[in-house]
């Protein structure tokens, strides 16, 4: 039925392909019997395999079993879910938090719940696909502003006379590795909210790649020294730097209560297994107890970026461990990615429609050694 469409994808070199690991996630992986140094994961702190994370999940499997059997509202959750929510709120400096099953389900559940008919959403043009889909599910009007362009955002906002306006942005852009100008966006919202008895601006931040990476691990607001105001909603994931699974919304008590009552992906989906909540709690504990992991992540990132730039590559404005390397064409992206694989390096080619401009997406983690990064640089000197 779709064979002709598939042929067209193949002709354009745009067929997607799954690679199955035969090893744990980590800086070294095994695929089809071959070992690779892995520069493709979002496991920025190497916590997917941290002994404390594994042990905590195992203990909870032994006591709570695996499946959760029902949605949170139907008793699918356990005291571990509650503990994780309290810990997340404390970590993010908010009154309250709510767990979602994934970052995708958080964005597609939260956005339609906070932005209704008559409201207006302002969304950065490079926001993650799950935000785009969340916006599509919302009945609000959607307006796209140019990537990180505060002037454009402010101009568009001033043209709208609606009850509620919601600015939505990734904190760290997942394919570009640059950071949103959150301080300027925050200041804009403060100015526009000023003198109103009820603030009519909401700021929704997807901190999937900021949590565990920026602000000593606490995320983008901490990085910019921004107070978690009641009109800011922080969404984040446990699946990236925290090496676990699932996601969260963190905000004021009333925001979280509203989400619990209206976010459809929360209400109508089976709760995460308790062991996933236990793994996330353990990961947050590791970040608090072992701040050196973050130092290692950032010094590894410095080493990699220095070497990549020295070879003459354009890293497309990256400011974080997500390091895209511009390739110009899809064919060149595929060629470089295959060349890297032949040299024992796994770093995927990212092609349209995931991004407009093809690239190799290299993610550096705290688990890499200096030798791993040297091998990457050597393999990139084509
Ligand atoms: C910015 C951003 N938001 C949300 C998600 C979705 O998170 P999850 O993988 O937990 O569904 C991702 C994942 O790639 C992401 O990069």
Summarised one tens digit per residue, pLDDT across range 172-228 is 999 999 999 999 999 999 887 765 556 688 999 999 999 999 999 999 999 999 999
Active site residue 174: yes
pLDDT at residue 382 in the model: 76
Tell me which H or E stretch contains 165: strand 165-170
Name which of 349, 346, 344 is nearest 359 in CA terms. Answer: 349
Instruction: Domain 20-49+291-380: give its CATH code.
Output: 3.90.1150.10
Strand pairing of 247-251 and 232-237? antiparallel
**92 phi/psi in degrees, rounded to 5:** -95, -5
CATH number for the domain formed by residue range(s) 51-289 = 3.40.640.10
What is the pLDDT, as a whole number, of residue 194? 66
Domain segments of the chain as ranges: 20-49+291-380, 51-289
The minimum-distance atom of ligand 1 relative to the CA of 173 is 1
Largest CA distance in the chain: 64
Catalytic residue among 223, 240, 368, 375: 240
105 assigned to active site: no
Give the list of residues 6+ apart from residue 310 with CB closer than 8 angstroms, or none: 377
The enclosing H or E element of 110 equals helix 103-114
User: Is residue 280 left, alpha or beta, with left meaning phi > 0 and alpha meaning psi from -120 to 50?
Assistant: alpha
Rounded to two decimals, what is the model's pTM? 0.96
What's the pLDDT score for residue 198?
62
The stretches of 194-233 forming alpha helices (DSSP H) are 220-224
**Per-residue pLDDT, 294:** 98
DSSP 65-100: -S---SBGGGT---HHHHHHHHHHHHHHT-SEEEEE
Catalytic residue among 209, 218, 223, 368: 209
CA 57 to centroid of ligand 1, rounded, Å? 22
Listed as ranges, residues in the chain with pLDDT below 50 are none
Say how many Å lie between the CA of residue 208 and the centre of ligand 1.
6
63 touches 275 (CB < 8 A): no
Residue with tokens 């999937």: 208
Residues touching ligand 1 (Cβ under 6 Å) are 102-104, 107, 128, 130, 170, 174, 206, 208-209, 237, 239, 247
Give the 3-state secondary structure of residue 270.
Answer: strand
**Angle (nearest 5°) at CA 127 between 124 and 130:** 135
- 318: number of CA atoms within 13 Å, CB side? 30
Q: What is the pLDDT of residues 279-295, one digit of tens each?
A: 999 999 999 999 999 99
Residue 211 CB contacts under 8 Å (≥ 6 apart), including other chains: 217, 218, 219, 236, 237, 240, 241, 242
pLDDT of 70: 98
pLDDT for the residue 199: 62
For this structure, is 128 an active site residue?
Answer: no
Using DSSP's 3-state secondary structure scheme, residue 61 falls into helix
């Amino acid at each position: 039925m779709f064979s002709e469409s598939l042929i067209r994808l193949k002709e354009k070199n745009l067929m997607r392909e799954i690679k199955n690991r035969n090893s744990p996630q980590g800086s070294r992986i095994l695929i089809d019997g071959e070992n690779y140094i892995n520069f493709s994961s979002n496991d920025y702190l190497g916590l997917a395999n941290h002994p404390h994370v594994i042990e905590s999940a195992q203990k909870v499997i032994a006591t709570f079993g695996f499946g959760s059997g029902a949605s949170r509202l139907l008793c699918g959750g356990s005291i571990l879910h509650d503990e994780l929510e309290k810990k997340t709120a404390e970590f993010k400096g908010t009154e309250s938090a709510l767990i979602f099953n994934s970052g995708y389900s958080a964005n597609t559940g939260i956005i339609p719940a906070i932005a209704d008919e008559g409201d207006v959403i302002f969304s950065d043009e490079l926001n993650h696909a799950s935000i785009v889909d969340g916006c599509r599910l919302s009945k609000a009007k959607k307006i796209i502003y140019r990537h990180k362009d505060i002037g454009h955002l402010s101009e568009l906002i001033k043209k709208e006379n609606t009850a509620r306006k919601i600015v939505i942005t990734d904190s760290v852009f997942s394919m570009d590795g640059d950071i949103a100008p959150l301080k300027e966006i925050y200041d804009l919202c403060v100015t526009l909210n000023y003198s109103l008895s009820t603030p009519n601006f909401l700021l929704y931040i997807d901190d999937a790649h900021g949590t565990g990476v920026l602000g000593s691990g606490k995320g983008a607001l901490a990085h910019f020294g921004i107070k978690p105001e009641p009109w800011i909603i922080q969404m984040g994931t446990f699946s990236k730097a925290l090496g676990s699974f699932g996601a969260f919304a963190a905000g004021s008590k009333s925001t979280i209560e509203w989400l619990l009552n209206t976010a459809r992906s929360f209400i109508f989906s089976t709760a995460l297994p308790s062991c996933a909540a236990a793994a996330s709690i353990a990961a947050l504990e590791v970040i608090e107890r072992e701040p050196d992991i973050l130092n290692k992540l950032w010094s590894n990132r410095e080493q990699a970026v220095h070497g990549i730039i020295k070879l003459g590559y354009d890293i497309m404005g990256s400011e974080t461990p997500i390091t895209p390397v511009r390739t110009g064409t899809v064919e060149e992206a595929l060629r470089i990615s295959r060349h890297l694989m032949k040299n024992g390096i796994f770093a995927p080619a990212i092609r349209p429609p995931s991004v407009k401009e093809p690239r190799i997406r290299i993610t550096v983690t705290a688990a890499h050694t200096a030798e791993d990064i040297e091998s990457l640089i050597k393999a990139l000197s084509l």
